Amino acid sequence: MKIMAVWGKVLLKNEPDWLLHLRERNNNFYEYHVTLKQPCWIDESQLPKIEQQLSDCLAKFKVLDHSIELNFNKLEVDETDGIILLFARNQQLIASLQKEIVSCLANYGNYVSPESEEYEANFRPHLTLAFDLSPDEVKSVSNLIPNNPVLNGRITQLVLSAVKEINPKEATNPSNFIIYSL
């Protein structure tokens, strides 16, 4: 069994010092990304079919300039879940792409966690700034973030990842990725 997900690589136009410090402090090893298809369990033998389905899906979805521009500007701090997110607002194109991908990969719904299905159904594009924090850490880390933070970026590539488990080694190993250009 493998864990499959699809995400868009976010290339930020600028990485302010506060963001670099935040990532360093929280050992955030993930690339900046927006998850489009939430992690699901698949049989490894299904991967070639999934690759083809995603390729066919993306061939039909036309993106002007092969890039999706994103403006992340709505901060949400959740002490209960120990997570800090920066949401993109009014992002119709990424929402349409996400719906199309979810539709194309509808047969793969054995989600890794119950929340994943809900996140997928109620898609809200965001960057995860910090996660797995205690309530005290949430307060401390959120003090590093300026009031009304704004990050601008773009997605030009999508990644189909297939890993044995979600950990830094697997999640950052390029041999576990299939890259698609928009």
pTM (two decimals)? 0.93
Q: How confident is the model at residue 92, as a pLDDT? A: 93
Give the range of the structural domain holding residue 88, as residue numbers without chain letter.
2-181
**Is residue 59 over pLDDT 90?**
yes
pLDDT tens digits, 17-45:
999 988 888 767 788 999 999 999 999 99
Q: How confident is the model at residue 65, as a pLDDT? A: 85
Number of domains in the chain: 1
What CATH number did the domain enclosing 147 receive? 3.90.1140.10
**Is residue 12 over pLDDT 80?**
yes
CA gap 161, 120 in Å, rounded: 16
Length of the chain: 182
pLDDT tens digits, 118-160:
999 999 999 999 988 999 999 888 999 999 999 999 999 999 9
Q: How confident is the model at residue 25, as a pLDDT? A: 80
Q: How confident is the model at residue 30, as a pLDDT? A: 82
**Is residue 90 over pLDDT 80?**
no
